């Protein structure tokens, strides 16, 4: 997955784990997930 990319995920439970080392010269990691409704729209308050 490239920086800024979106990918579809299956409709089954999904677990996501991110690991990175922090320190001088290492960029921060920023993540977001969206909770979607059955019609593919972002649910109200769906940013987790």
Q: What angle do CA 15, 20, 24 make, to 5 degrees?
A: 160
Q: Which spans in the chain are helix H?
A: none
Taking phi first (over 0 means left), then psi (-120 to 50 degrees means alpha), and beta for anything else, what does residue 40 get? Answer: left
**Nearest CA-CA partner of 42 in 14, 13, 18, 6:** 6
Both structure tokens of 37: 């409704």
Give the pLDDT band of residue 2 (cuts 50, 70, 90): confident
**pLDDT tens track for 21-38:** 888 888 887 777 778 787
Q: What is the pLDDT of residue 5?
A: 77
């Amino acid at each position: 997955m490239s920086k800024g990319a979106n990918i579809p995920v299956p409709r089954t439970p999904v677990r996501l784990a991110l690991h990175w080392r922090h320190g001088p010269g290492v960029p921060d990691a920023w993540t977001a997930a969206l909770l979607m409704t059955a019609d593919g729209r972002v649910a109200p308050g769906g940013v987790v």
